[in-house]
Chains A and B, each alone.
Chain A
Amino acid sequence: MSYLRLDELSKSFGETRVLGGVSLEVSEGETLVLLGPSGSGKTTLLRMIAGFETPDAGRIEVAGVEVTSLPPAKRRFGMVFQHYALFPHLSVAENVAFGLESGSAAPEERLARVAEVLELVDLRGFGERRIHQISGGQQQRVALARALAPRPRVLLLDEPLSNLDRALRERTRREIGDTLTRVGITAVWVTHEQDEAFDVGDRVAVLHQGSLEQVGSPEELYLEPATRFVAGFVGRASAIRGGWRDDGRVSIAGSESAWSGVPGRDFEPGTPVELVFRPEALRLVAVGVEGALPVRVLDRRYAGSQTYFTVESSAGDRFEVIALSEAAAPGDERAVLPGSPAPRVFGRDV
């Protein structure tokens, strides 16, 4: 049963269509991540949920009640802003208490709640500090505490980690993720980082050019990308061109081989297609192995736990393969074989 329901939301700014009919459902207590590149419409979608933008069409429901035209202040949603938007003229505690002031809680209840959420984000004893007296990571946690304090129905997070350096970002996203789980709140989290999306999201919705490409668990998105865009945007993708055969296999361009794959849709025999692999799903083997595609090694990139080899087939397809670091050197002739998971098959323009 969905708690937050977005139904056919669309939005244009002037002539530019930013969102075209996006529908999504989020269950109670679930964290849904909106993932997409810049300009995909994810922030606009979040701002619509918050009430800062009005959709041209579509509706938003929470717990079965429509909130589409309700002003932000009346939605009882919490939001963590990209640059935190902490009030610089108020102390940490005053910031956290801000959202409690419009409620009916007695002053001592408010104080108790402020202490409780500061404790929750591990900032006990920071209440009297001014905003400029605490670090970026602490500011981030104050922003989270402030949004959680009024017990919102839904928590919205707009790229909440983008202001932190890499090391702090990884630690903080775990902490926030744990906090969200502990509180059990329904959350919508916007990011353009796949690692972040996979780490914090129960499910991830991938947006591209204002449309929803796929919604699913991180595993589904990685192993079973529904579109060519998802395959390329989520994780690394190696593409090899070919043609769809009537036996349901793909003839590989520039070789005699034919490989199996999972088609994204039905294809007519002879349709030009792409086999899209994860780099770890291709094996580098010696030339002459049956069914293997001969390639030349162009480049070798050592990345610690694994080594990426850029290879090129005789048909001119360039892609990446992961292998042991001593498996080949640039200039070597080798071949590749499909491994597991099986590649996805997408149509391609000729």
Chain B
Amino acid sequence: MSERRPAASRRVGFGLVLLLSWLVGYPLMLTFLEALGIGSGFTLEYFAEFVGRVDEWGALWRSVWISAASVVLSALIGVPLAFVFERSEFPGRKVLGALVALPVALPPLVGVIAFLFLYGESGFVSRAVQGLLGLSEPPWRLQGPGAILLVHAYSMYVYFYLFVRAGLARLDVSMQEAAAMLGAGPVRTMFKVTLPLLRPALTGAALLAFMTSLASFSAPYIFGGGFRVMTTQIVFSKLNGEVAMSQVETVVLALVALAGLWALVRLDRGRIEVVGGVRGVAPSRTALRGRWARGSATAVGWGLALVLLLPHLTLILISLVPRATWTIELLPPVLDLGNYRELLAAPERLRPIVNSLWMATVATLGAVALGLAAARSSIRSGGRLGAALEVLLAVPWAVPGTVFAIALATAFSVDAPMAGRFVLVGTPWILPLAYLVRSLPVTGRGALAGLRQLDSSLEEAAASLGAGRWRTLRRVTVPLLKPALAAAASLAFITALGDFVTSIVLYTYDTRPISIEILSSLRLQDTGVAAVYGVLLMAVSAGAFLLWGREEKA
């Protein structure tokens, strides 16, 4: 098949490279050029101003150290959890194992407000501690780097947990048996054999956590206060009308993100290749013996699950509290469905939900179609064309959402059709486009992974049975890729539905999504309604997450 109509498949490949370059590379390039004043006279003035300003350097430094600390904290929680759930057997292990991964399905802004309701100054936990200790002031303020790190660790340990569990499940037991036969104790085996073999999983999770932290916006925006990181700095510059400075900051953050990506990829390059094709069986789980051990493991497990579920439960509870009925009591005195009724009764309140749903659906469908087309073309074309498509698919992942939002705002606020620029900012199409571009790495990589696992002779078999290209795609390729595409689509949909970081830069009143409405409800002290929006986001995201799980099993 590789030889069939090479010219046609190359033409498609070139077309896709052009389209992706326009969507992904062009806005970033324009932002860089505009930061240098190209078009209105070359200048390094804004870069010089950036270098000269202490607050800019401070924000950059804070972004980097917060990201590094988030990686360490997430690893400290996620790695031991992975070992416990993969290596020991105790009552409720399976259910708890799934619950532990739940924070990944919580949209960032929803997680942040749930933390606010739980651990904020007037949150449940703070009130309880204040009441227990008889304090006149709240015991703490959920603000600054500590609060940001708490939210990051809560949402990003899942990467380490999932990656290391998968790594442990694949680990060849004979390696550990060989170490034991050579006299290594459990500790030496752990540090000399197991952890080095888990290096790909660990670096993969670290990369994901680092890049996610660097791009994190919701937590620094809500909890940061005066503690600004690069993402919030960019948005504040934009909101203050300092467009050129926001472009310089965007360029700097993009460069830091790419440098981080480069460093971690280099680190991963030195990994050990396991020799020998035959893989042993994954080690069996150690059943905890003795009533005490089993009992305490179960109690700790469920206790942990409760802590992890508390943000979700809090959000549901707050959504049931009518406005201005809860002041100084430990628990809300009145609970009803008033907030839900209010939201459903007012079309203007429903607008953000409809907006988010249609924009996320359109973006997801577009991202799946474009991701699949680019992945297929990348595999078929191979060579430089294939590599270029793969890079273009990966770029939006490495570049923080804020950066992309500014880049899209830069590229699509000018009417110059000959230069490939159209006015999309202010129209209903800019947000779906932004969501689509940001989802491309997920759908593209999902399709690439699925296609690489697909036996190429299946498509040849279809062709030998008289099926043309479209029929082969519809009847063979897509059905077989369904699990991979469904997983990618679920993730893309969840991300687009709960998006805050690009929305805050690109929304208009008519296109405001749920996340923006949550923020304005919070500003109006309408916590109940904000929580209802949060619960709806959570429910739809969990639904998409479950759909993914079902497809995985099918």
- Give the interface of A toward B (CB within 8 A): 50-54, 71-74, 76-79, 81-83, 85-89, 98-99, 101-103, 146-147, 150, 156
B465 touches A85 (CB 8 A): no
Q: What residues of chain A lie closer than 8 Å to B4, measured between beta carbons?
A: 51-52, 54, 71-72
Report yes or no: A77 in contact with B462, Cβ–Cβ below 8 A.
no
Within 8 Å by CB of A72, from B458, B464, B480, lies: B464
Quick check: A85 and B3 within 8 Å, CB to CB? no
Per CB-CB distance, the 3 closest pairs between chain A and chain B, nearest first, are A99-B465, A85-B461, A85-B457
Q: List, in ascending order, chain B residues with CB within 8 A of A88's CB.
A: 480
Contacts of A103 in B (CB 8 A): 466
Q: How does the 8 Å CB contact mask read for B1-33 relative to A, with 1 for contact and 0 for none?
A: 101110000000000000000000000000000
- Smallest CB–CB gap between B379 and chain A, Å? 16
Compute how far the CA of A98 lies from the CA of B466 in the bound complex, rounded to whole angstroms: 9
Counting CB contacts under 8 A, is B475 at the interface?
yes
Check: B460 CB closer than 8 A to any chain A CB: yes
Q: Which of A50, A73, A82, A83 has the most CB of B within 10 A?
A: A73
What are 24 inter-chain pairs, A to B, with CB distance below 8 A?
A: A50-B464, A51-B4, A51-B463, A52-B4, A52-B460, A54-B3, A71-B4, A72-B460, A73-B463, A73-B467, A73-B468, A78-B465, A81-B457, A81-B460, A81-B461, A83-B457, A85-B457, A87-B461, A88-B480, A98-B467, A99-B465, A99-B467, A146-B465, A156-B464
Let me know if B455 is at the binding interface, CB within 8 A.
yes
Q: How far is the CB of B303 from chain A (nearest CB, A)?
A: 41
Cβ of A253 to closest chain B Cβ, rounded Å: 46
Q: Is B285 positioned at the interface, with any CB of A under 8 Å from its CB?
A: no
Question: Smallest distance from the beta carbon of B459 to chain A beta carbons, Å?
Answer: 9
B471 adjacent to chain A (CB < 8 Å): yes
Interface SS majority for chain A: loop
Known contacts A102-B466, A103-B466, A150-B466; is-contact A82 B480 (Cβ 8 Å)? no
Q: Which residues of A contact B476 (CB under 8 A)?
A: 87
Of chain A, the residue at the smallest CB distance from B5 is A71
Q: Assess whether B295 is interfacial by the CB under 8 Å rule.
A: no
- Measured between beta carbons, the chain B residues less than 8 angstroms from A50 are 460, 464
Quick one: given A85-B455, A98-B475, are A53 and B464 in contact (CB under 8 Å)? no
A53 / chain B contacts, CB cutoff of 8 Å = 3
Q: A78-B464, A85-B455, A150-B466 are in contact. Are A52 and B480 (CB under 8 A)?
A: no
Q: Taking beta carbons and an 8 Å cutoff, which residues of B are in contact with A?
A: 1, 3-5, 455, 457-458, 460-468, 471, 475-476, 479-480, 482
CA distance A50 to B464 in the complex (A): 7
Chain A residues near B479: list those with CB within 8 A.
89
User: What is the chain A residue whose CB lies nearest that of B461?
Assistant: A85
**Which A residues lie within 8 Å of B461 (CB)?**
79, 81, 85-87, 146
Alpha-carbon gap, A72 to B479, bound state (A)? 21
CB < 8 Å neighbour of B460 from A79, A87, A99, A150: A79
Q: Are A102 and B1 in contact (CB under 8 A)?
A: no
Q: Shortest beta-carbon distance, B6 to chain A, in Å?
A: 9
| Shortest beta-carbon distance from B468 to chain A in Å | 5
Question: Residue of A at shortest CB range from B1?
Answer: A52
Knowing A54-B4, A87-B476, A88-B480 touch, does A76 contact B466 (C-beta < 8 A)?
yes
* A71 close to B457 (CB less than 8 A): no
A146: chain B residues at CB < 8 Å are: 461, 465
Which residue of the partner chain B has the closest CB to A102?
B466
| Chain A residues within an 8 Å CB radius of B458 | 85, 87
Contact A99 B457 (CB under 8 A): no
Instruction: Please give the distance in Å from A223's CB to the nearest CB on chain B.
Output: 36
Considering the chains assembled together, what is the distance between the CA atoms of A156 and B463 in angstroms?
A: 13
* Beta-carbon nearest neighbor of A143 in chain B: B461
Q: Are B460 and A102 in contact (CB under 8 A)?
A: no
User: Which of A74, A82, A83, A85 neighbours the largest number of chain B CB atoms within 10 Å of its CB?
Assistant: A85
User: Which residues of chain A are within 8 angstroms of B460 by Cβ–Cβ distance?
Assistant: 50, 52, 72, 79, 81, 85
Contacts of B471 in A (CB 8 A): 101-102
> In the complex, what distance in Å separates the CA atom of A241 from the CA atom of B475?
61
How far, in angstroms, from A284 to B471 measured CA to CA in the complex?
65
The complex places the Cα of A86 from the Cα of B464 at a distance, in Å, of 12
Which residues of B have CB within 8 Å of A74? 466
What CA separation (Å) do A291 and B479 show in the bound complex? 73
Report B-chain residues with C-beta under 8 Å of the C-beta of A73.
463-468
Q: A79-B460, A87-B458, A88-B480 are in contact. Are A52 and B3 (CB under 8 A)?
A: yes
The residue in B463, B479, B480 that gathers the most chain A C-beta atoms within 10 A of its C-beta is B463
A147: chain B residues at CB < 8 Å are: 464-465
Determine how close the nearest CB of chain A comes to the CB of B113; give it in whole angstroms: 42
* Cα–Cα distance between A85 and B454 once the two chains are bound (Å): 10
- Give me 7 other A-B pairs in contact (C-beta within 8 A), A74-B466, A81-B461, A156-B464 excluded: A72-B463, A73-B468, A77-B464, A85-B455, A87-B476, A88-B480, A146-B461
Closest to B464 in A: A79
Cα separation A89 to B466 with both chains bound (whole Å)? 19
> Shortest beta-carbon distance, A109 to chain B, in Å?
16
Q: Give the residues in chain A near B1, CB-CB below 8 Å.
A: 52, 72
A81 to B456: give the CA distance in the assembly, Å.
11
A261 to chain B, nearest CB (A): 45
Among A52, A71, A76, A77, chain B packs the most CB atoms within 10 A around the CB of A52
B476: nearest residue on chain A (CB-CB)?
Answer: A87
Nearest CB to that of B465 among chain A residues? A99
